[in-house]
Amino acid sequence: MSGEQERDGLLVVDRCGPGPHAAGGAAPAARTSGTDVRSSPGSGAPAASAGWREDMRLRVHGEMTEFVRRRWAEPPAFVRVGGDADGQGVLALARSVLDEYLAGGKYLRSTFGYLGWLCGREESAAALRAVASLELLHVMALIQDDVMDDSSVRRGRPAAHVTLARWHRGRGLSGDCGAFGRSAATLLADLCLVWAEQAWRTSGVDAAALARAWTCYDSLRGELAVGQLLDLTQDLHRPRSTANALSTARRKSGNYTVRRPLELGAHLAGCPPLVLHTLGRYGSLVADAFQIRDDLRDWFEPDRVDASRSSETSRTQEAAQARAADVRAGRGNIVTALAHEMAGSGARAEMAELAGAAEIDGRVLARWQQVLTETGARARAESLIAGRTQTAVRLLADGGIPAFARGALAELAAVCAEAQPHDVARR
């Protein structure tokens, strides 16, 4: 792996494209978008408004909704199974589940991908469709993540495997409904993976552009799978180094959320080596901040929750349930790795005792939060997030990034580092 080491020893930057001094011609000139912009503090560039990001989300959702609608209406998804009410029923439910998963989220991956494109080319409906395919890949990852973690809830609603298990029970079919739900959800995730590549391949982007980006597309998917596999071995009872925990998190979530989509769009656009290098370094730093923030949220609820809002209450309860499930399953993350490295022998012994508690109740979870705070792990995680975000934004100034993209990327770095719970990552 080629790359460069950050001073804190936690980041190794690898590349799926050429470095800044590699040979290559200049990309087509980038255009500054005419979209409404405003000043972005500290970035020295106009920034995309929240309205632009919401418009992007709606456009991508529209593209993917229509793409999926067409797929369900043609073979092999559309099968005439006359008189087979169960077959028709499970296909209809799978379609409903997929629509629900596509409707949620912030569409960060496609937004990063399109900004990568805008670093080298003008607006393009075909390029938008190409990066929109990343949202189907994300749905695949969410469904699989819920099955692997045995999570019952996703965004305040039953997870896919739970919905499918309930349907099986309601139909009175033979066999174990839980096993059916997990199996059916896994197959639906497989279908999302197939359709994601189909959406990418049939987007209308020319063959030469797709050829430039295939290696990066393969890296994105491969890293995600390997990262999820490695994540299964994260164990509170056998804590790993922070560098190891962060490496796993980078593969399973951070890179496929930030860095690879950026590089994917930039390769599609034929961006020059300097731009690719800058986006790669920015993407690695923001990906780390994104994942560390998500791991902090796994342990700490928001400071302020309006209990009068049922959605906030539901989200808080969901977070608490997920936290308890993680401890029962012995799942560690970056924050617990930091705590083990920073703790003295007494705190380490207490963490081992808490990890092995017979009953994971509110008292045990509260004590976990106290230990993670007292060891300095929580503050260190916040420091890592801030440092990476600030460095990432500074990199944009001299990296050949067009003004509009520079401002938008500065804002998205802040979104990834500081967004409210459930806006990003696993949510």
> What digits encode the pLDDT tens for the residues 89-134?
999 999 999 999 999 888 999 999 999 999 999 999 999 999 999 9
What crossing angle do the helices spanning 207-231 and 177-201 adopt, rounded to 10°? 150
Q: Count other C-beta atoms under 10 Å from residue 165's C-beta.
A: 23
Read off the pLDDT band of 298 (50, 70, 90). confident
User: Which has the closest alpha carbon to 388: 258, 252, 244?
Assistant: 258
Read off the pLDDT band of 370 (50, 70, 90). very high
Q: How far is CA 354 from CA 150, 327, 343, 349, 369, in A?
A: 21, 9, 14, 9, 11
Helix (H, G, I), strand (E, B) or coil at 36: coil
Proportion of the chain above pLDDT 70, given as a percent: 81
Number of DSSP helices (H) and strands (E) in the chain, helices first: 16, 4
| 27 pLDDT more than 50 | no
Read off the pLDDT band of 315 (50, 70, 90). low
User: What pLDDT does 321 receive?
Assistant: 74
- Mean pLDDT for the chain overall: 84
Q: How far apart are CA 217 and CA 210, in angstroms?
A: 9
Q: How far apart are CA 80 and CA 97, in angstroms?
A: 21
Read off the pLDDT band of 9 (50, 70, 90). very low
CB 45 within 8 A of CB 118: no
User: What pLDDT does 82 receive?
Assistant: 60
Q: How far apart are CA 147 and CA 156, in angstroms?
A: 16
User: What pLDDT does 376 receive?
Assistant: 97
Span of 149-163, 291-305, 410-424 with lowest mean pLDDT: 410-424
Helix (H, G, I), strand (E, B) or coil at 205: coil
Read off the pLDDT band of 326 (50, 70, 90). confident
| 21 pLDDT more than 60 | no
Query: Between 401 and 319, where is the model more confident?
Result: 401
* Side-chain-side CA neighbours of residue 203 (13 Å): 27
322 alpha carbon, distance to own chain's centre: 17
Q: What integer is the mean pLDDT of 362-390?
A: 95
Query: Between 298 and 16, where is the model more confident?
Result: 298
Any idea which residue has 């990343």 for tokens? 134
CB 92 within 8 A of CB 164: no
Domain 41-418, what fold?
Farnesyl Diphosphate Synthase (1.10.600)
Q: How far apart are CA 29 and CA 188, in angstroms?
A: 41
Query: Between 357 and 2, where is the model more confident?
Result: 357
Span of 10-24, 90-104, 263-277, 372-386 with lowest mean pLDDT: 10-24
| 281 pLDDT more than 70 | yes
Q: What integer is the mean pLDDT of 317-344?
A: 84
| 322 pLDDT more than 90 | no
Read off the pLDDT band of 332 (50, 70, 90). confident
| 25 pLDDT more than 70 | no
Query: What is the separation, in whole angstroms, between the first and last Cα of the chain?
Result: 31
User: What pLDDT does 94 receive?
Assistant: 96
Read off the pLDDT band of 402 (50, 70, 90). very high
User: What pLDDT does 79 receive?
Assistant: 64
User: What pLDDT does 36 receive?
Assistant: 32
User: What pLDDT does 329 receive?
Assistant: 79
Element (H, E) at 324: helix 310-329
Query: Between 321 and 170, where is the model more confident?
Result: 170
CB 420 within 8 A of CB 319: no
Read off the pLDDT band of 323 (50, 70, 90). confident
Q: What integer is the mean pLDDT of 140-151?
A: 93
DSSP 327-345: HHHT---HHHHHHHHH--H
Q: How far apart are CA 257 and CA 290, in angstroms?
A: 9
User: What pLDDT does 102 receive?
Assistant: 95
DSSP 388-407: HHHHHHHHGGGTT--HHHHH
User: Which has the closest alpha carbon to 132: 200, 79, 81, 198?
Assistant: 200
Backbone phi and psi for residue 3, each to the nearest 5 degrees, phi listed first: 155, -160
Q: What integer is the mean pLDDT of 354-376?
A: 92
pLDDT in tens, 213-262: 999 999 999 999 999 998 888 888 888 899 999 998 899 888 999 999 99
Provide Rg for the chain, Cα atoms: 22
Read off the pLDDT band of 393 (50, 70, 90). very high
Q: How far apart are CA 280 and CA 262, in angstroms?
A: 8
3-state DSSP helix/strand/coil % of the chain, to nearest 5: 65, 5, 30
**32, burial (CB in 10 Å: exposed 0-12, middle 13-18, buried 19+):** middle
Span of 6-10, 86-90, 343-347 with lowest mean pLDDT: 6-10
Proportion of the chain above pLDDT 90, given as a percent: 63
Q: How far apart are CA 31 and CA 118, in angstroms?
A: 7
| 349 pLDDT more than 80 | yes
